[in-house]
Amino acid sequence: MDLFPEIWILCSLLCSVAGQAPVVSVDPRSATVRQGESVSFRCQASGTVQPVQLEWSRPNNQALPDNTKIGPDGSVLTVADARPGNHGQYRCVAVSSAGRSSANAVLNVKHAPKVRLTPAGPLRVRVGDSASVECRATGRPRPTLSWKRQGSTLNLVTSEINDVNTIKWTDMRPEESGVYICQAENNEGISEVKIQVSVDGPPGAPVASVTPAEMTVVEGQTVTMECKASGSPPPLISWSKLRAPLPWKHTVANGVLTITSVGRQDSGEYICNATNIQGYSEAYTHMEVETPPYATCLPDQVRLRPGDALMIQCLAHGSHPIEFTWSRMGRGSLSAGAETTKDGRLLIADVKMSDSGTYKCVATNRIGSSTAQAKVIVKA
Ligand SMILES: *[C@@H]1O[C@H](CO)[C@@H](O)[C@H](O)[C@H]1NC(C)=O
């Protein structure tokens, strides 16, 4: 007994009497847009039985997104300002009294990656413990994922399974504390998320130290002093100057104090203070700013009669010790009756007409030297 051919013949007879279901097509059948762009799909149906009604829908009875519009006769579906959630299939269904048929369109929405970490951080781990962080990203095309440590360009060794890139640590050490970055990249862009990881030792009061412990620098230089502190939880570091405010041209970053273009008044004791709930620790450093001499003569011009006494003082600002040397312009050596002192004085007890001239004082210290002149006129 073979009933099926009979049924088929019967049906085909009835069907031709009743007319045929509409023939439906969608144009374009697939489209790719960037996030924010717009796109339209046109649905066309033909059929022997009119009227034909068109309807747009998404698979699984999902509602059409609210940024879609359907043209007046139902034939054109427009997705305006496309977003990642618009990605997927759209179905046009044509219905007439003779039946229904459908055709699908596919929309690809490209977009830059978005990254998410689990846990989101910050992450606190005890010394010797293990930890892991999972990095996931959305994005189209599918982004590639990598982990780095802040301040380094090297990719860390991680494992990637099912689009989840996981960084794992075992037996964590305090020096593994820091900021870690998961980066996702595709043709549409790059995006990254950071996580702060701190490895805590047993609770402990801070112990601070400063490098260098003392320094001598020259005026105008830029100076950096670094404070390091152990302790758990990690101590907060602050800088101050003994009995004075910090120079206004200073910055502090990661425990490093930087002073640009130091001046003589910046000399002194600098204090690093590391504080946590267990206590605090102070560390000192001494900075001496050296300056080159600046010399002047007092007086810088003198009129005398033969037989008078001459006294000129050479004065100098600048870092000590300062040495003074007197000479006579055009002659070099001083006359036999001249005398000089360590503190910069030129003395002639009994001047002669021949002592007239210009005298030069050179003040010298470790950094440099400076010259000043005095004119001596001896007239009867
Ligand atoms: C360092 O910090 C502690 C605690 O906050 C405070 O008592 C101390 O005076 C500070 N020392 C300096 C030099 O600022």
* Phi and psi, residue 33, nearest 5°: -130, 165
Nearest CA to ligand 1 atom 11: 273
Pocket test for ligand 1, best of 269, 280, 284 (most atoms within 8 A of CB): 280
Give span(s): CATH 2.60.40.10, the chain: 19-110, 119-200, 204-290, 294-378
Nearest CA to ligand 1 atom 12: 273
Cα–Cα distance for residue pair 99/16, rounded to 1 Å: 12
Q: What atom in ligand 1 is closest to the CA of residue 273? A: 1
CA dihedral over 235, 236, 239, 244, signed as positive or negative: negative
Give the single-character DSSP code of 267.
-
Which of these, 177, 168, 178, 181, lies nearest to 127 by C-alpha position?
177
Strand ordering across the sheet containing 23-27 = 23-27, 39-46, 76-79, 68-70
Give, in words, the CATH class of 204-290.
mainly beta
* Predicted confidence (pLDDT) at residue 5 exceeds the cutoff of 80: no
The residue type of 265 is Q
Q: Does the beta carbon of 280 sit less than 6 angstroms from any atom of ligand 1?
A: yes
Q: pLDDT confidence of 3, banded at 50, 70, 90?
A: very low
Q: Does the beta carbon of 271 sit less than 6 angstroms from any atom of ligand 1?
A: yes
Give, in words, the CATH class of 294-378.
mainly beta
Q: Which residues contact 66 (CB under 8 A, 6 or more apart)?
A: none
Nearest CA to ligand 1 atom 7: 280
Nearest CA to ligand 1 atom 3: 280
Nearest CA to ligand 1 atom 5: 275
Q: Does the beta carbon of 269 sit less than 6 angstroms from any atom of ligand 1?
A: no
Q: Which CATH superfamily is domain 119-200 in?
A: Immunoglobulins (2.60.40.10)
Instruction: List, for residues 321-336, the tens digit of each pLDDT value.
Output: 999 999 999 887 888 8
2.60.40.10, 1.10.630.10, 3.30.1330.10, 3.30.720.110: CATH of 19-110: 2.60.40.10
Q: Does the beta carbon of 240 sit less than 6 angstroms from any atom of ligand 1?
A: yes
Which carries the bigger pLDDT value, residue 103 or residue 47?
A: 103
Q: What is the DSSP string of 181-249?
A: EEEEEETTEEEEEEEEEEEE-S-EEEEEEEESSEEEEETT--EEEEEEEEEESPPEEEEEETTBPPPTT
Neighbouring C-beta atoms of residue 303, cutoff 10 Å: 12
Cα–Cα distance for residue pair 148/89, rounded to 1 Å: 37
**Which pLDDT score is estimated for 6?**
52
* Predicted confidence (pLDDT) at residue 4 exceeds the cutoff of 60: no
Beta bridge partners of 352: none
**Which pLDDT score is estimated for 335?**
87
Instruction: List, for residues 298-320, the tens digit of each pLDDT value.
Output: 999 999 999 999 999 999 999 99
Instruction: List, for residues 149-175, the tens digit of each pLDDT value.
Output: 998 888 999 999 988 999 999 999 888
